[in-house]
């Protein structure tokens, strides 16, 4: 926190220094962030954090560049087919901002590789390309090591982000607009977020919450991700949630929820506009988290092209 910005840093970050101040920039310059996965949202988040001046941005994805990574604009056409997605991304990111350190983390992007990743040296982990089961396993490690976690899921026209910052303190301007006041947020784990009493839900609750909850419970039961072939099973799980006696009358638009569930199951690809929107939101809140300035997402963020809404939901037991 006492490190002063160099002349080059002050020049490059001049605009954002005027937006959020020297102290926030110093904290950002000291942040060490690991991004797992190499899809479109990973590209968006890493680009935004690199340009903002995060001290260390590390990428973990050993997928060969020859394999398709939809939406990852960081992989140039002349990237060697023998290089990994992480290596190709790191090369582009370092060229974007030579003032920061960009690192490649070794390890395959698989369940085994995730367990081998060294998280201790990082402040924040941004996880992409994972299902809920993988996120839950990673979350357990992040909780144990006291690391901030942002986990992003993209599915066709939909984007979901789960955030667990454990106990997180931050400051924001007081009502007088001059002084600052400190606040603390206590985050739920993923299991708690997906176990929120349905009686607390209402018609303002984003319908993607119940969709993601049905998908989460499907993965718990089947130990794998759902595909379009699993729609009947997803609908059965969702029906049990939607028809609970605890749900107040007219609290949810059940048909709309079931239509979204069908769309989720049917669209397994990644849409670049959704990745761009979700990536921008996540990067902005990672900056809030590592700088302890302003409230980060607590604890779910949903975006759907069906309604063009981005909604934060605080879900907990």
Separation of alpha carbons 138 and 190, rounded Å: 11
Residue 159 vs residues 18, 148, 180, 190, 308: alpha-carbon distances, Å = 31, 20, 33, 16, 11
Around 243, how many Cα atoms within 13 Å sit in the side-chain half-sphere? 7
| Composition of the chain by helix, strand, coil, percent to 5 | 45, 20, 35
Query: What fold characterizes domain 7-189+271-313?
Result: Rossmann fold (3.40.50)
* pTM of structure: 0.93
8 Å CB contact between 125 and 149: yes
Residue found by looking up tokens 């680009």 in the block: 47
From first to last of the 317 residues of the chain, give the pLDDT tens digit.
Answer: 446 788 888 888 888 888 888 899 999 999 999 999 989 999 999 999 999 999 999 999 998 887 766 678 999 888 888 899 999 999 999 999 999 999 999 866 556 566 778 899 999 999 998 999 999 999 999 999 999 999 999 999 999 999 999 999 999 988 887 788 999 999 999 999 999 887 777 778 888 998 999 999 999 999 999 998 999 999 899 888 767 655 555 445 456 677 888 899 888 778 899 999 999 999 999 999 999 999 999 999 999 998 899 999 999 98
8 Å CB contact between 42 and 61: yes
Length of the chain: 317
Residue 88's contacts (CB-CB under 8 Å, 6 or more residues apart) are: 65, 74, 75, 76, 79
Q: In the chain, what are the domain boundaries?
A: 7-189+271-313, 196-266
Q: Is the dihedral of CA 295, 298, 304, 310 positive or negative?
A: negative
292's tokens: 């302890």
């Amino acid at each position: 926190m006492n490190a002063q910005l160099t002349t080059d840093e002050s020049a490059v970050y001049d605009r954002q220094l005027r937006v959020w101040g020297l102290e926030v920039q110093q904290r950002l310059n000291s942040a060490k962030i690991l991004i797992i996965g190499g899809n479109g949202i990973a590209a968006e988040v890493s680009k935004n954090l690199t340009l903002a001046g995060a001290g260390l941005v590390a990428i973990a994805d050993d997928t060969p560049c020859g394999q398709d990574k939809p939406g990852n604009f960081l992989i140039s056409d002349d990237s060697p087919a023998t290089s990994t997605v992480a290596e190709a991304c790191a090369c582009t990111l370092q060229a974007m901002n030579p003032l920061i350190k960009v690192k490649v983390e070794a390890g395959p992007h698989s369940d085994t590789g995730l367990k081998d990743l060294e998280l201790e040296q990082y402040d924040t982990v941004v996880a992409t390309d994972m299902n809920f089961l993988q996120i839950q396993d990673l979350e357990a490690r992040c909780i144990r090591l006291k690391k901030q976690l942002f986990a992003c899921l993209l599915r066709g026209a939909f984007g979901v982000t789960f955030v667990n910052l454990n106990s997180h303190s931050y400051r924001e301007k007081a009502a007088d607009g001059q002084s600052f006041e400190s606040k603390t947020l206590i985050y739920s784990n993923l299991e708690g977020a997906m176990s929120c009493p349905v009686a607390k839900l209402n018609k303002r609750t984003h319908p993607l919450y119940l969709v993601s909850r049905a998908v989460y419970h499907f993965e718990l039961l089947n130990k794998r991700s759902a595909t379009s072939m699993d729609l009947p099973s997803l609908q059965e799980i969702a029906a049990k949630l939607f028809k609970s006696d605890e749900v107040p009358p007219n609290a949810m638009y059940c048909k709309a929820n079931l239509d979204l569930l069908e769309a989720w199951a049917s669209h397994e690809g990644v849409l670049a506009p959704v990745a761009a929107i979700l990536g921008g939101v996540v990067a902005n809140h990672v900056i809030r988290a590592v700088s302890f300035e302003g409230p980060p997402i607590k604890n779910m963020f949903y975006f759907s092209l069906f309604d063009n809404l981005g909604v934060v939901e605080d879900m907990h037991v």
